[in-house]
Structure 1
Amino acid sequence: MIRTLLMIGLIGFLSLVFLHAPVRAEGEFGGLALGNGQLIFEAQCVGCHVHGGNIIRRGKTLKLKALQRNHRDSVEAIANLVRNGKMPMSAYKDSLTEQEILDVSAYVLNQAQQGWN
């Protein structure tokens, strides 16, 4: 019985993950897919940057003040960091498409502007 319930739960979870269609957002980010950016962030970034923080380098968070202080407060500046990395952060140009890099960068900036709520 428990095994059956666990299997049903697993199937339901996997259905949500694989059948989820990203939500496209218009406006300030020029149609970049914030929903897709969120999915990428959760898959690639949240391990070090949960809630916009940074578990490796505490001062290098994704909070708006830190992004401004480090001159990373635009989609292109964030995308450049995602693309090329900067130790200890890995570069993602070989594992994400350019559109995915722009999507996750727009998501990060949008979240920073909203206080990561």
Structure 2
Amino acid sequence: MFKLLLRRFFSLTLPLALICAAGFGLDWSALALADQAPPGAQIFELHCAGCHIHGGNIVRRNKTLKLKALQRNGMDNLTAISEIVLNGKGNMSAYQDRLTEAEIQSVAAYVLEQAEQGWK
């Protein structure tokens, strides 16, 4: 019975959702491009952006990912950024159990690149 209801629900709602999306001009190419973002950007969005949106810091205002703050705190290189992602520090959680070494390097490179570009 439940399977029948579920099947009926999706058979009615999926076409309606597609029609609405087409009617409201949903940009499917934007969704496709999100999947093509560099791995560092994807990891940042998934694990870091909650606290560091646009390179800021919602927990500690002076500990941003902006270039001047990174330089002031001695975090303006890949090794330092990778180290803090790996082991955490203060309010910053450690990600050694959640990310691979390659993912840590990728997100560190992304953070440094964005800082150098002004988080545009």
TM-score above 0.5 = yes
Alignment deviations for residues 83-115 of structure 1 (CA, whole Å, 9 cap, x no partner): 000121110001000000000000000000000
Find the counterpart in structure 1 of residue 25 from structure 2: none
CA distance in 1, matches of 2:32, 2:16: 17
Find the counterpart in structure 1 of residue 86 from structure 2: 83
| Residues 1:95 and 2:104 aligned together | no
CA distance in 1, matches of 2:13, 2:57: 38
Equivalent in 108, 111, 115 of residue 114 of structure 2: 111
Question: Please, what is the CA RMSD of the aligned residues?
Answer: 2.5
Aligned residues: 101
Q: SS of 1:108's equivalent?
A: helix
Displacement of 1:3 in angstroms is 5.3
The verdict on how the C-alpha distance between 1:59 and 1:3 changes in structure 2, with shifts beyond 3 A counting, is: same
Larger radius of gyration: 2
Displacement of 1:6 in angstroms is 2.7
TM-score w.r.t. length of structure 1: 0.76
The verdict on how the C-alpha distance between 1:5 and 1:38 changes in structure 2, with shifts beyond 3 A counting, is: farther
Equivalent in 54, 57, 64 of residue 54 of structure 1: 57
Find the counterpart in structure 2 of residue 72 from structure 1: 75
Find the counterpart in structure 2 of residue 6 from structure 1: 17
> Identical aligned pairs, as a percentage?
54
Q: Structure 1 segments of 4 or more deviating over 4 A?
A: none
| Residues 1:38 and 2:41 aligned together | yes
